[in-house]
Amino acid sequence: MRVDDKFLRDLESKVLAYRAKDKDSDRRKTYDEVFDRDTLMTLYDLMTNEVIDNLDFPIATGKEGNVFRATTHDRGFRAVKIYRMSNATFNNIQKYIAGDERFRNLGKNRRRTIHTWAQKEYRNLERMRSADISVPEPIVCTKNIIVMEFIGTDGTPAPHLREVEVAEPEILYSKLYGSLKKMFKEASLVHSDFSEYNVLMKGSEPVIIDVGQAVLKTHPMAGEFLCRDLSNLARFFRKQGLDLDEKEMLREILEDA
């Protein structure tokens, strides 16, 4: 495919504009790490193949990558998650891939590992959606980029659970605990990084995000990760006034699993 150099220059200019507007030095460094030449070429392919039409603006910065809102050709919205290729990211994700029978013989190649990590999140999303768990719908995964359903209203991103006032904590707890239970029993997965930072609130409905580190329940550390997820869930809802027993929560999930 012949590359449109003007398109790439325009895309690079937009990235520089994002960077210039952000006063946080760590986030500015993140932009430099995220948008290497290969990533720009992948975005170019997604745009020329009409998966997205335009990369609008950043909506989240995570430990492993950034999420941007994108516009489609029919003026809809999608979320574009771009994993950065830095060594810090590579070192952090190794423990979640090692021991996952879906990704054997990966080796130590950094680029291949990050691409596999993106595929892992995409497949986890597919698996959770099949189990009727509320997560974003995955659309396309290529190299270090995942395009998925945009969670929000009228183009405005949904807030994280940590940012909202919980009106009915018992109901919300039941939904989230039910999702973690279904994740384990029906999708055979453990989220492994569950917290109020990884839940979006679309109105009163929670949507679980950031599932790249989710592991199969056969993973050697699955039990430890599950206990940590439940501890974070209980901690948050105790602050909302609920009386929760983590041992009972764990027993109920493991029962007949």
Domains of the chain listed by start with CATH number: 5-156 (3.30.200.20), 158-254 (1.10.510.10)
Residues with active-site annotation: 193, 210
- Beta bridge partners of residue 190, listed in sequence order: 215
Q: Which token pair is 9?
A: 């220059």
| pLDDT(16) > 90 | no
- Residue pLDDT, tens place only, 195-228: 999 999 999 999 999 999 999 999 999 999 999 9
Provide CB contacts within 8 A for 46, sequence distance 6+: 52, 80, 140, 142, 145, 147
Residue written as token pair 């109901």: 171
Q: Which token pair is 186?
A: 């029906």
In this prediction the pTM is: 0.89
Q: Which token pair is 78?
A: 């999608």
Return the beta strands (E) in 125-241 as ranges. Answer: 138-142, 145-149, 152-153, 156-157, 189-190, 199-202, 205-208, 215-216
Residue pair 198/236 in contact (Cβ under 8 Å)? The answer is no
Residue pair 34/28 in contact (Cβ under 8 Å)? The answer is no
- Residue pLDDT, tens place only, 132-164: 999 999 999 999 999 999 999 999 999 999 999
Residue pair 189/219 in contact (Cβ under 8 Å)? The answer is no
